[in-house]
Structure 1
Amino acid sequence: MTSVIDAIRKDEATNNNLGYLDGLRGICCFLVVIEHCINFYKPDIRFTELEGFAGMIRRVVSLSPLNFIYSGDISVAIFFILSGFVLSLKFNKTKNYEYIVSGVVKRYPRIMFPVAASMLFMFFILLLSDKFIGHNFWSGAWDSFLFIFNQIMVEIPFTHNALTNYPLWTISYELFGSFLVFAILAIFGTSKYRIYFYLIVMAYFFASLENVYYTLFIFGVIICDLTKGGNFTISPGLRLILFVVGLFLATTPFPRDNVIPHGGFYIYLELFKAYNYVQVSRYLEIIGSMILFASLVGSTLSIKMLTTPLMRFLGKISFPLYLTHATIIYVISFVLKSKYGEVGFSMFLAASLLTVCISIPVAIFFERYIDMPSIKLSNKVGKLLCK
């Protein structure tokens, strides 16, 4: 995942106020932070088999579209669609291949400079926590640094492996997906049959569970092309239907321990018992996210709600927040578990609030001194190599 704010700002005045898409990305990033707080501080918030009132509330949320409040997978899907949409925006409007060449050249440094900085931030913060609060996260400073360096240079950009900075599993998809976008634009982008070619490529990736996320990038290209950069005018009634259907499918519960696989609003999934539930839930999530995104494109209500000062602020810091919040969660989680053992709901709320209160200033710092300079640097690299 990478920030789209630099591309969006240039088009706000002339292209239907595309700043609302950055607001969308900001709220999605915030939901990812909430999900990770639950995963580390109190995972039983999702458990559906608990007794009593607490169990009933959990089932109401988990087995209905209300679970979007802690479903980070939807946010990741939206991130990928946004990338496809924004990366193809300039070319779709101009058909100028210079935007493709420049995009290819800039993409790696644009993403990986902030990623590398976030990994070094994690290394030093956890090294300090090892020393002062007995975290014992690293086995040794030098060996751990080499471990982090390998992740920066190899594992994060080129593999889909589990990572120390766990949200960064999306970065390899982001890089490959970005280059896929540029490739299909270069090959098919000026053809009058391009949408059909895009659909064929999209169907190819959709047929593979391992590579299904690339479907989202291509969908972003298609929706950008068909709507001429976001000018999607449909009736409010149809838009509402798309939103409800998209949210319903996108919130299909992913299989987790202590969570009922079929129930509540999703009892219909009993029909697919003969199939692999992981695959069924993932495909429904992908389809739902695409429908959900389509319902928001060009929506007057979306533009109004997602361009408030708060949404713009969240959009501005979203990429740095995504990169750095895991470090904060690691430290707070260790303190909670070592000092309090079992975490109650009030303690969970306090820890989550503390996470947000620390993560946001860190993200502001990163946005100003890491993210924005990386945008400027990647732009200079693009201009230098594309002369």
Structure 2
Amino acid sequence: MTQVNNVNVVVETPAVQDRLAFLDGLRGWAALMVVLSHLLVFFVSGSSTTYAGWYWAFPTDGNLAVFIFFVLSGFALSIGYIQTHRLSLLTALCARRYLRLAIPILFASLFAYLLLAARLFYNIDAGKVTGNNWLTNFYGFAPDLLESMKFGLYGVFVTSDVTRSYNPILWTMPVELFGSFIVFAVCALFLHLKKRLFFIAAILVYFFLTKNIYYFSFMTGMCIALCYHHRDKVVFQKLRFAVPLLLAGAVYYSTVSLRGRGLPVPQIMRSDFLSILAASAMVFAAAFHGPFRRFLENPLSRYLGSISFPIYLTHFIVICTFSSGMMLYLRGTEQGYTEGNVQFNVAASLLVCFGVAHVFRHVESFAIFVARKFSAYMQK
């Protein structure tokens, strides 16, 4: 969660940006998986069986999407230094990283505060009516402007109490921030050494043995970035035929380890380590498989990439306000909350999620501008 996280933060030259557009596209599709997970699996749970089929397992695998975010961040935050060995690039990224994340989060927190103050959160009432206990866990506190600002500026990076959170899904942000600085430190300390692979392997082993799985994801992303930098070597040329199998294997794992019970195949036990392997396989395939990379670089994928962080920040607020309110309204109609009305609510909610995220892109652009100005000032 991943982006949480835009490739534009990492890349400094137009040429490199063009080559790395596939990272942004993959991040966009991963963000959509998170949205579908919360909307179709958790929110609709108990009201409809439409999305219970095995074929919905991969598109709604929010857990896998979060690991994709982390692997992508490891790749995106290190590739610039790997390609240029410019230490100034790392210092610029270090200076801007906090602001790049905190400014959009602050605006999202203020957005949630305003809606909460206006009593437009209906998730608790909707959860009680439908028996959805997941919905009743959030936004049960009184709005406080100062607390919402504190949450956006630093609370989101240090607390995990979802019952007091202005955006409960942002539990990924501490991992994203601290994982970023781990990547910067490893780049600065080890990537210029001849035995860098030894040190990277030692760090991977340390994170694995200490069960720091999330930071392990960042390191795997850095390893894929190193492979991508040396993609013209013979070993990677020979491996290209096997890359589609990695992509297929990641989708297969996601399907049969979640809701693939309708398939006549053995179930795979879900684990964080296997999810990291699946996420890494998808990022590796995006870098080395031409057709998949071109798909991630098409206009639709690029657009999803441009709203990946905005939609990640705002979709949960939409679900707890608009979607929950629409559910209560439709239940009160003569027809009631029928299957057709459930599908109408899902479609309308997706439209609102995309609309809010599209507008929120301006906030992200402002954050990027401020972060870059600040890093340029600090480097002087």
Shorter-chain TM-score: which interval? 0.7 to 0.9
Aligned length: 357
348-357 or 125-134, which deviates more: 125-134
Q: Which amino acid aligns with 2:355?
A: P
Q: Distance in 2 between matches of 1:286 and 1:327?
A: 28
1:38, distance to aligned residue in structure 2 (A): 2.0
Summarize deviations over 1:209-257 as a string: whole Å, max 9, x none: 4x21111111111111122076664555311222222333345636xxx
* 1:313-324 equivalence runs, <5 A: 313-324=303-314
78-87 or 162-171, which deviates more: 162-171
Summarize deviations over 1:75-114 as a string: whole Å, max 9, x none: 1111111111111111111212111211111100111000
Q: Which amino acid aligns with 2:148?
A: I
Match of 1:383 among 369, 376, 380: 376
> Match of 1:203?
205
Q: Distance in 2 between matches of 1:4 and 1:75?
A: 15
Q: Distance in 1 between matches of 2:299 and 2:114?
A: 33
Q: Distance in 2 between matches of 1:187 and 1:116?
A: 32
Q: Distance in 2 between matches of 1:134 and 1:247?
A: 34
Residue pair 2:107, 2:152 contacting (<8 A) in 1 also: no
* 1:218-257 equivalence runs, <5 A: 218-228=219-229, 233-251=237-255, 253=257
1:148, distance to aligned residue in structure 2 (A): 2.3
Compared with structure 1, are the counterparts of its residues 180 and 333 closer, same or farther at alpha carbon in structure 2 (3 Å cutoff)? Answer: same
212-221 or 260-269, which deviates more: 260-269
260-269 or 166-175, which deviates more: 260-269
Compared with structure 1, are the counterparts of its residues 343 and 290 closer, same or farther at alpha carbon in structure 2 (3 Å cutoff)? Answer: farther
> Match of 1:363?
357
Q: Does 1:30 align with 2:9?
A: no
Q: Which amino acid aligns with 2:301?
A: M
The sequence identity of aligned pairs, in percent, is 25
Compared with structure 1, are the counterparts of its residues 265 and 104 closer, same or farther at alpha carbon in structure 2 (3 Å cutoff)? Answer: farther
> Match of 1:157?
157
Q: Does 1:102 align with 2:92?
A: yes
TM-score, scaled relative to structure 2: 0.83
1:307, distance to aligned residue in structure 2 (A): 1.6
Q: Does 1:69 align with 2:69?
A: no
Match of 2:70 among 80, 94, 100: 80
> Match of 1:307?
297
Q: Does 1:93 align with 2:94?
A: no
Structure 1's unaligned 5+ residue stretches are 48-53, 270-279
Q: Which amino acid aligns with 1:353?
A: A
Q: Distance in 2 between matches of 1:133 and 1:251?
A: 29
Residue pair 2:169, 2:316 contacting (<8 A) in 1 also: yes
3-state SS of 2:19 partner? coil
3-state SS of 1:89 partner? helix
Q: Distance in 1 between matches of 2:206 and 2:261?
A: 28
Q: Distance in 2 between matches of 1:283 and 1:222?
A: 16
Q: Which amino acid aligns with 1:321?
A: I
* 1:105-116 equivalence runs, <5 A: 105-116=95-106
Compared with structure 1, are the counterparts of its residues 46 and 216 closer, same or farther at alpha carbon in structure 2 (3 Å cutoff)? Answer: farther
Q: Which amino acid aligns with 2:208?
A: F
> Match of 1:126?
116
Q: Distance in 2 between matches of 1:266 and 1:220?
A: 29
* 1:267-346 equivalence runs, <5 A: 267=267, 269=269, 281-340=271-330, 343-346=337-340
Q: Which amino acid aligns with 1:295?
A: A
Q: Which amino acid aligns with 1:205?
A: F
3-state SS of 1:190 partner? coil
Q: Distance in 1 between matches of 2:17 and 2:324?
A: 46
